Amino acid sequence: MAVLLSLLPHMPHITHHGGATGVTGSCHRLQLDPDRALLVDCGLFQGHDAQGDNSLEQHRVTFPVADILALVVTHVHIDHIGRLPHLLAAGYTGPILCSIPSARLLPLVIEDALKVGFTRDAQLIERFLAEVDSRLVPLDYRTWHTLIQDDRHHLRIRLQRAGHILGSAYVEVDIQTPNNYTRVVFSGDLGAPNSPLLPAPEPPERADILVLESTYGNRQHEDRSTRQQCLRAAIDHALQNGGTVIIPAFSIGRTQELLYELEDILHHQTYQRQMREQPPPTKNESSPWERASPAKGGGPFPVIVDSPLAARFTQAYRDLKPYWDAEAHQRLHAGRHPLAFDNLYTVDSHEDHLKTVDHLARTHRPAVVIAASGMAAGGRVVNYLKRMLGDDRHDVLFIGYQAAGTPGHAIQKYGPRSGWVELEGERVTIRAGVHTIGGYSAHADQNDLLDFIQGIPTSPKEIRLVHGEADARASLKARVERWAAEQDCKVQVIQSPPEHKAG
């Protein structure tokens, strides 16, 4: 059984069916009465959060669903929505509430998840997506939405921008009963200030109970100028050595932010001379991206997105320009195209993917390749790593969290020691440069999380720390308690106990 979590009298009860003691599988249940509940997220487990080889059984939803009034989706990363097929298979028939951008992006994520984990039957996938589409209820930010209002409850929710990926939100839940009024806030995943494309999250005006992520609860990120310098240094190294900068990145969020930053680097830095110094490709060396769309005056240095899914997300990001931040709109007004610049290429077919891997591994053509998955646990990036990790001309650049138990974590840990990693059953020696830029993390760091808490006008009565490894949660808990003592605030900070991961 999942663990009962709210310790305050007359407060609604919260249980976690994932995401309490790790960074994946987020799934939080807010119980109002024995026959009424709200579910926030329903994500897949990954890395060490996954138990054994029977992932189908682990992800099966065994908690009750008949009493769930609605599923609220904070954002569309797979570790927050990946169990949606299992939830519907368990009999859930209610609505799926999310932001307007998330409603556009969610079907793309679910379609990909179905193809990877369930079936490639096009008709089955089409029927499931139609079912999901019929349940989606897109909500405007900063607008209250009433779920139920009767003699027992007035329950309403409001989404606020979280700055994590496009469409991400934290969820405010207002619960009014004849004898009590409580506001519960679920942070989802909060973004860092000054993230590309997205405005920073603003703290809520009230939170009696705050369920707060703690992914980077024990760390601070580099500032934006520092991380851009690190990215520029990796590009310089590629130009000098004729190597490839391999960036494992999730198809949604990190890919688009990287493109935004790369456009800025190329806009402000003159790489034209360096590009012209590179010898032109011969007919025998030409790659799919060179054949398809030569750069307009940009020379042979390409930024390659090798992921059809990432390309679809990038197009969706372009279509959702109204949700970009002020800085991005300034670039647009100046005639720049942050997600569609001249040196940007996409690789669609699997055949062209294999040709691109082979071309870059054999030749000394510098390039930046962005490919999924973000933790190198599968996807096209694995083929690049298998071919290039053993060559010191190349670099691997991590820009997101690498969960324990994933190949990305192993490369990050053992690469600087000239170690090895197992990829698809093959032991690969690591000679390529391995770098990590924490500033491109999609998550708020320790100081950002503290700022979020401190920005709430009246401190919460209870803060539950979730979505973080044990040391991150413990470090953040200590910082919050120290601040609360200094401010003489009465707030209970709780590291969530282990939950029943299979539901």
**Residue range 134-147: mean pLDDT, rounded:** 98
pLDDT on residue 291: 38
Q: Rounded to 5 degrees, what angle do the CA atoms 442, 445, 449 make?
A: 110
Res 301 pLDDT > 80: no
Q: SS3 for 399?
A: coil
Distance between CA atoms of residues 173 and 190, nearest Å: 17
**Residue range 188-216: mean pLDDT, rounded:** 93
Res 501 pLDDT > 60: no
**Residue range 367-391: mean pLDDT, rounded:** 93
pLDDT on residue 56: 66
Q: Which residues of 304-325 are buried (b: 16+ CB within 10 A; e: fewer)?
A: bbbbbbbbbbbebbeebeebbb
pLDDT on residue 284: 46
Query: pLDDT band for position 402 (50/70/90)?
Result: confident
pLDDT on residue 500: 41
**Residue range 277-281: mean pLDDT, rounded:** 50
Q: SS3 for 37?
A: strand
Instruction: Supply φ then ψ for residue 404, to 5 degrees.
Output: -55, 140
More confident residue, 301 or 28: 28
More confident residue, 482 or 120: 482
pLDDT on residue 55: 62
Residue listed under structure tokens 């390659």: 304
8 Å CB contact between 355 and 288: yes
**Residue range 135-158: mean pLDDT, rounded:** 97
pLDDT on residue 498: 47
pLDDT on residue 496: 64
pLDDT on residue 1: 32
Please state whether the peptide bond connecting residue 287 to the residue before it is cis, i.e. omega within 30 degrees of 0.
no
Strands 462-466 and 420-423: unpaired
pLDDT on residue 303: 93
Distance between CA atoms of residues 162 and 159, nearest Å: 9
CA dihedral sign of residues 473, 226, 378, 26: positive
CA distances from 408 to 175, 369, 477 (A): 42, 16, 27
Instruction: List the one residue out of 409, 492, 367 whose CA is nearest residue 48.
Output: 409
Instruction: Supply φ then ψ for residue 64, to 5 degrees.
Output: -60, 140
Res 296 pLDDT > 70: no
Residue by residue, DSSP assigns 162-173 as -SSSTT-EEEEE
**Residue range 280-299: mean pLDDT, rounded:** 42
Residue listed under structure tokens 């591994």: 361
> What is the longest distance spanned by two Cα atoms in the chain?
78
Max mean pLDDT among 8-17, 40-49, 182-191, 402-411 falls in 182-191
Long-range contacts of residues 178-185, Cβ cutoff 8 Å, at least 24 apart = 178/151, 178/152, 179/10, 180/10, 182/10, 182/11, 182/12, 182/208, 182/209, 183/207, 183/208, 183/209, 184/12, 184/14, 184/30, 184/208, 184/209, 184/210, 184/211, 185/209, 185/210, 185/211, 185/460
The region that residue 47 occupies, defined by phi over 0 for left and psi between -120 and 50 for alpha, beta otherwise, is left
The overall average pLDDT reported for the chain is: 86
**Residue range 349-375: mean pLDDT, rounded:** 92
8 Å CB contact between 384 and 244: yes
* pLDDT tens digits for range 67-86: 999 999 999 999 999 999 99
Res 182 pLDDT > 50: yes
**Residue range 116-141: mean pLDDT, rounded:** 91
CA distances from 343 to 3, 240, 288, 290, 364 (A): 52, 18, 14, 10, 18
Q: SS3 for 379?
A: coil
**Residue range 212-217: mean pLDDT, rounded:** 94
Instruction: List the one residue out of 324, 340, 331, 333 whose CA is nearest residue 197.
Output: 324
Q: SS3 for 28?
A: strand
* pLDDT tens digits for range 340-359: 988 899 998 999 999 999 99
Residue type, 317: Y
CA dihedral 277, 281, 287, 291 (to 10 degrees): 100
pLDDT on residue 2: 41
Distance between CA atoms of residues 156 and 176, nearest Å: 9
Res 300 pLDDT > 60: no
pLDDT on residue 113: 82
Res 225 pLDDT > 80: no
pLDDT on residue 283: 43
Res 43 pLDDT > 90: yes
Q: Please state, for a pLDDT cut of 70, what percent of the chain lies above it.
A: 88
Spatial CB neighbours of 262, under 8 Å, sequence gap ≥ 6: 231, 303, 341, 368
More confident residue, 285 or 479: 479
What is the H or E stretch that residue 397 is in?
Answer: strand 395-398
**Residue range 145-169: mean pLDDT, rounded:** 97
Res 285 pLDDT > 50: no
Instruction: State both tokens at 344.
Output: 């940007």
Long-range contacts of residues 27-31, Cβ cutoff 8 Å, at least 24 apart = 27/83, 28/186, 28/211, 28/466, 29/2, 29/63, 29/68, 30/173, 30/184
Query: pLDDT band for position 294 (50/70/90)?
Result: very low
